[in-house]
Amino acid sequence: MSHNVQTVLSAAQEVTNRDLSDAKGPVEVPNGSAYSDHPRLKVHRKYRHVAALHSKVQPSCLSHEATETPSFIGFRNLMVLTIIVMNLRLVVENAQKYGLLITLKLNLRSQDIQTALILYALTPCHLFVAYIIERVAMENAKGAVGKRKKNDPDGSTPETEEEKTDFYYTWWWIAVAHALNASLALLITSYVVYYHIYNPGLGMISETHAIVVWLKTCSYAFTNRDLRHAMLHPGGPESALPEIYSKCPYPRNVTLRNLCYFWWAPTLVYQPYYPRTDRIRWTFFFKRVGEVVALCVFVWLVCAQYAIPVLHNSLGGMAVLDFSAIAERLMKLSTISLIVWLAGFFAIFQSFLNALAEITRFGDRVFYEDWWNSTSLKMYWATWNKPVYHFMRRHIYSPLVGRGWSPRAASAWVFVFSGVLHELAVGVPSHSILGVAFLGMVLQLPLILCTEPLAKKDGTGKVIGNCIFWINFVFVGQPLAAMIYFFSYQAKYGAMSKMAQR
Amino acid sequence: MSHNVQTVLSAAQEVTNRDLSDAKGPVEVPNGSAYSDHPRLKVHRKYRHVAALHSKVQPSCLSHEATETPSFIGFRNLMVLTIIVMNLRLVVENAQKYGLLITLKLNLRSQDIQTALILYALTPCHLFVAYIIERVAMENAKGAVGKRKKNDPDGSTPETEEEKTDFYYTWWWIAVAHALNASLALLITSYVVYYHIYNPGLGMISETHAIVVWLKTCSYAFTNRDLRHAMLHPGGPESALPEIYSKCPYPRNVTLRNLCYFWWAPTLVYQPYYPRTDRIRWTFFFKRVGEVVALCVFVWLVCAQYAIPVLHNSLGGMAVLDFSAIAERLMKLSTISLIVWLAGFFAIFQSFLNALAEITRFGDRVFYEDWWNSTSLKMYWATWNKPVYHFMRRHIYSPLVGRGWSPRAASAWVFVFSGVLHELAVGVPSHSILGVAFLGMVLQLPLILCTEPLAKKDGTGKVIGNCIFWINFVFVGQPLAAMIYFFSYQAKYGAMSKMAQR
């Protein structure tokens, strides 16, 4: 053997020696045999290429025979990231296609603004007219009570026939006066918005304001009627009033101050007295106002940059009823309308109403509940808009049920009524009373019947119910209605709108 | 009063009577006063328009002062639906734009198929060569043991210098033979794939097969070397072998049957004995095979209809380095590559390996763990591909640490080695060894250092770690690498590929 080979060999030998015998640290082997009982024990073994990594029979964690299902929490995070990235891509695509569509130039006629401001100032007057009517009714009732006390101090004599006739006669005229006053509030605004306010956004704000005032007027009239009747006919357990009203009993509540509070309070149901907070937290108030401003700007940007192009691009498909094109636009619009809706919901129901409640020291801030977890459509309609739900329950549903209607029939009537209000709020400002919003509300009834059994089930049933709610609401209801009204509006004012856009 | 007015009045009166006094059912009022203590008690009250719906001070459920955060489970369902709808929209858009791109005509040259089949048949031969080498080494070792026993029956005489030299001489030649054999397995395939297989898909399958055979050959050689050494130098607690190997001790494991089992077993680490199941469940096997077929078809359809157009559309942006266009394509591709990857992962690691394990009665089915919940990149690399992880740990990481390397340096070396394998598997079949796959693996090291502290934190830290893992993996790593290799491939074979597409 030459010297060279010897050197190579000894080098190899050295490596081998190092490799095979570099055993360090404690070695724990239970018995003296060549085979260890703990193949996965972390000891520095002499032989490192022999570890038994496959030492027992065990299934894959996704197989059915696995003893426990693994957690899938990572996929939740993946979903959030996927949605962010997918939308980010659409943002980039939109920027490449359209550039910046947002301009600071507001597409508003000065005449529209003028008309809207006049409506905004005049509509609340109907509340004051309702106050005057109530004031007259109250004086009348107080007079009746005074007369009765004078004639019959111990209250033993029953009402005379004349007294009864007199009371109901007054009652009837008051009802007519209230009905006229309240209806006028709605009719005048609807007429003005439909014929004189071109901008649908401004029109919708004016119309919604009128609906709110109308509902408040109705609630004021209904509640005071019952309170007046209770004063005139005291006693009897069934005529008990809520304990909280004892702090401001009828007729002490019929004051201008009390009415003004109701005018501004974030509720649609009149109560002589509301739970109040101790003080106005100004930081809370300004935070909420900041949220409202930020979210409004956000909604405006999203609409201008993303919703309007999608709506414009849908016109072609709508005109020739190309269903695959309509479906594609609908699905594209659904994400945008969902974002706009969620931002709008938060802006109005969390930020705006909480700010209003803070400034009026209004205590009950449950303007919504966790409607996003609704397992049935019924639950959704009862939780997403508490002020309107309260109004419907107190002034429509309960009285109807009390008169002997079945709960289902009363619910149906609530949805029909609500459909009319929705049609007013959407159809009038967009100058196209199509009945789609109305139908959208009325069609909730069969859907509610379908989803009601799911809410009572566990697990999967509830998830399915929740999914049906979301599909109905986010992917069909909102964007479809938006597209139909947009199409109708464009069919009517298309040229005008394009001119205004330039 | 005329008769007419009288009639109207009595009708109104009747309505009023009905409305105001239709009190039914039990009435529970605790005290006799006009105000009830339970304003929300469900009794049939006389006055229905007076219910106190606002009876206490309470915050909105999304406000900070709310006592408990509401559940947001509904939004999880919404996310799933949003992802489905967003992708459904892309499907419709794709159909409108491209129509059906899938054809049953396979874009394969018959020469490619021939070459791949020859490679597929020849590559495993290297395993048999390794067997022959092992057989020679075993006979040699058995001879040495026999000679020693004959000369020194009670084992008291120490090894002579001649014996030692002889042993190491043999050892060295065996090592060289194994190294040559194994390297040839990889080199021949790589050469053939790079120069003679045009189709990248077929090339990748051939190359991956060669890598698997190469790793198996290496593991077979390393493990048998240690086992042989243990037989030649028995005793000493540090030379203990895993208990499970006692069922098939060296040299009884060096048989053709044992090697063939290792050839087909779904593992890359050689063990003389593996945990086995009792019987083959044929229904389980056919279900898994069905899954493999279905998922492969699915992946093929998704690639042909959705991935290829996106990749083709990315070429323009890549050529002029338009980063916003590249980012947009990247994000569009990310969802598709994620779907393909998840389907491919399931097809290979759950369905294919489980089918293979079932048919070979291989017991240890932990081919992956819940990598989708990884809170750090380290955890991901240790869980998503257990066969390769086992190989790296047993034959690279542990020996290096045993030789005194720091765990960090040993890990780094594992990633460098893994990077070379990735580059081989991607760069060779696509005929463009760019180093991107290699760099992608090596760049995991700094990312692992960054995400490691997050895994030890609770809650948000873990979520952030998981999100970093997903972003790195799904939104940057996979689609970027795919786009770069596709671009490089098209730059080289663009015209040819277009011709083949027609």
Active site residue B54: no
Q: Is A464 helix (H, G, I), strand (E, B) or coil?
A: helix
Average pLDDT over residues B221-239: 81
Residues 328-387 of B with CB under 8 A from A: 328, 331-332, 334-335, 338, 346, 349-350, 353-354, 362-370, 372-374
**CB-CB under 8 Å, B335 with A85:** yes
Average pLDDT over residues B1-18: 39
Average pLDDT over residues A38-67: 74
Q: Is the pLDDT assigned to residue A15 strictly greater than 60?
A: no
pLDDT at A27: 36
Spell out which residues of chain A touch residue B363, defining contact as CB-CB under 8 Å: 54, 56-58
pLDDT at A266: 95
pLDDT at B276: 93
Q: How far is A37 from chain B (nearest CA, A)?
A: 5
> Quick check: A95 and B327 in contact, CB under 8 A?
no
pLDDT at B169: 81
The pLDDT tens digits for B349-406 are 999 999 999 999 999 999 999 999 988 888 899 999 999 999 999 999 999 998 889 9
Q: Is the pLDDT assigned to residue B22 strictly greater than 50?
A: no
Q: Which of A126, A395, A422, A431 is catalytic?
A: A422
A287 to chain B, any CB pair closer than 8 A? The answer is: no
Whole-number Å distance between alpha carbons of A228 and A246: 14
Residue A233 — pLDDT band, cuts 50, 70, 90? Answer: confident
Q: Which two tokens stand for residue A275?
A: 């739970």
Q: How far is A123 from chain B (nearest CA, A)?
A: 24
Q: How far is residue A61 from each of residues A79, B183, B350, B377, measured CA to CA in Å?
A: 21, 35, 9, 20
Average pLDDT over residues B219-246: 82
> Quick check: B372 and A78 in contact, CB under 8 A?
yes
Residue A1 — pLDDT band, cuts 50, 70, 90? Answer: very low
Whole-number Å distance between alpha carbons of A433 and A64: 56
Average pLDDT over residues B338-345: 92
The pLDDT tens digits for B316-330 are 888 888 888 888 888
**CB-CB under 8 Å, B34 with A58:** no
How many contacts does A have with B, using Cβ atoms within 8 A? 407
pLDDT at A496: 45
Across the interface, of A16, A331, A354, the residue whose CB is closest to B63 is: A354
Which position has the higher pLDDT, A450 or B270?
A: B270
Helix B200-232 to helix B407-427 angle (10° resolution) is 140
pLDDT at A98: 87
Q: Is the pLDDT assigned to residue A40 strictly greater than 90?
A: no
**CB-CB under 8 Å, A77 with B226:** no
Q: Which of A101-115, B151-165, B341-355 has the lowest mean pLDDT?
A: B151-165
Q: How far is B418 from chain A (nearest CA, A)?
A: 18
Instruction: Map out the domains of chain B as residue ranges.
Output: 49-102+299-495, 113-149+160-240
Q: How far is residue A494 from each of residues A312, A314, A436, A497, B73, measured CA to CA in Å?
A: 10, 13, 20, 5, 42
Residue A16 — pLDDT band, cuts 50, 70, 90? Answer: very low
The pLDDT tens digits for B411-440 are 999 999 999 999 999 999 988 888 888 998
Q: Is the pLDDT assigned to residue B448 strictly greater than 50?
A: yes
pLDDT at A475: 73
Residue A387 — pLDDT band, cuts 50, 70, 90? Answer: very high
Which position has the higher pLDDT, A98 or A159?
A: A98
Using a cut of 0.80, tell me whether the model's pTM lies above it. no
Which chain B residue shows the shortest CA-CA distance from A221?
Answer: B49
Residue B15 — pLDDT band, cuts 50, 70, 90? Answer: very low
pLDDT at A210: 94
Whole-number Å distance between alpha carbons of B348 and B289: 10
**CB-CB under 8 Å, A470 with B74:** yes
A97 to chain B, any CB pair closer than 8 A? The answer is: no
Q: Which of B126, B178, B395, B422 is catalytic?
A: B422
What is the DSSP code string of A354-420?
HHHHHHTTB-B--S---GGG-SSHHHHHHHS-HHHHHHHIIIIIHHHHHTT--HHHHHHHHHHHHHH
Give the percent of chain B with pLDDT over 70: 86
Q: Is the pLDDT assigned to residue B502 strictly greater than 80?
A: no
Average pLDDT, chain B: 83
The pLDDT tens digits for A152-203 are 766 566 667 777 787 778 888 899 999 999 999 899 999 999 999 988 889 9
Q: Look up the ipTM and state it.
A: 0.77
Q: Is the pLDDT assigned to residue B21 strictly greater than 70?
A: no
The pLDDT tens digits for A439-449 are 988 988 988 88
Nearest CA-CA partner of A166 in B289, B140, B1: B1
Q: Is the pLDDT assigned to residue A150 strictly greater than 50?
A: yes
Q: Which two tokens stand for residue B79?
A: 């996310």
Which helix (H) or strand (E) segment is B36 a member of?
A: strand B35-36
**CB-CB under 8 Å, A165 with B12:** no
Q: How far is B454 from chain A (nearest CA, A)?
A: 15
**CB-CB under 8 Å, B92 with A324:** yes
Spell out which residues of chain A touch residue B16, defining contact as CB-CB under 8 Å: 168, 171-172
pLDDT at A193: 93
Rg (CA), chain B: 35
Whole-number Å distance between alpha carbons of B39 and B96: 60
Average pLDDT over residues B446-458: 82
List Cβ neighbours of B487 (8 Å cut-off, separation of 6 or more).
B314, B315, B318, B319
Q: Is the pLDDT assigned to residue A488 strictly greater than 90?
A: no
Average pLDDT over residues B92-112: 82
Q: Is the pLDDT assigned to residue B37 strictly greater than 70?
A: no
Which position has the higher pLDDT, A264 or A240?
A: A264
Which chain A residue shows the shortest CA-CA distance from B55?
Answer: A275
B26 to chain A, any CB pair closer than 8 A? The answer is: no
Q: How far is A231 from chain B (nearest CA, A)?
A: 9
Ramachandran sector of residue A459 (left: φ over 0; alpha: ψ -120 to 50; beta: rest):
left
**CB-CB under 8 Å, B95 with A324:** yes
Residue A6 — pLDDT band, cuts 50, 70, 90? Answer: very low
- Distance between alpha carbon B131 and the CA centroid of its chain, in Å? 31
Residue B158 — pLDDT band, cuts 50, 70, 90? Answer: low
A438-472 b/e (C-beta count within 10 Å ≥ 16 → b): bebbbebbebbeebeebbeeeeeebbebbbbbbbb
Q: Is the pLDDT assigned to residue A268 strictly greater than 60?
A: yes
The pLDDT tens digits for B247-285 are 888 888 999 999 999 999 999 999 999 999 999 999 999
Across the interface, of A57, A74, A331, the residue whose CB is closest to B372 is: A74
**CB-CB under 8 Å, B34 with A241:** yes
Q: Which of A72-76, A155-159, A165-169, A280-284 has the lowest mean pLDDT?
A: A155-159
Alpha helices in B197-281 (DSSP H): 200-232, 256-264
A14 to chain B, any CB pair closer than 8 A? The answer is: no
**CB-CB under 8 Å, B327 with A92:** yes
Nearest CA-CA partner of A333 in A303, A313, A307: A307
pLDDT at B13: 38
pLDDT at B28: 37
**CB-CB under 8 Å, A338 with B82:** yes
Q: Which of A80-89, A492-501, B188-197 has the lowest mean pLDDT?
A: A492-501
Q: Which of A113-122, A379-388, B478-487 has the lowest mean pLDDT?
A: B478-487
pLDDT at A73: 86
Spell out which residues of chain B touch residue A349, defining contact as CB-CB under 8 Å: 60
Which chain B residue shows the shortest CA-CA distance from A28?
Answer: B237
> Quick check: B334 and B479 in contact, CB under 8 A?
yes
Best of B6, B18, B19, B54 to substitute, by most chain A Cβ atoms within 10 angstroms, is B54
**CB-CB under 8 Å, B368 with A70:** no
Answer positive or negative: Cα dihedral of B143, B147, B150, B155.
negative
Spell out which residues of chain B touch residue A171, defining contact as CB-CB under 8 Å: 12, 16
Whole-number Å distance between alpha carbons of A312 and A494: 10
Give the single-character DSSP code of A71: P
**CB-CB under 8 Å, A334 with B60:** no
Q: Which of A14-18, A375-379, B60-64, B288-292 has the lowest mean pLDDT?
A: A14-18
pLDDT at B10: 40
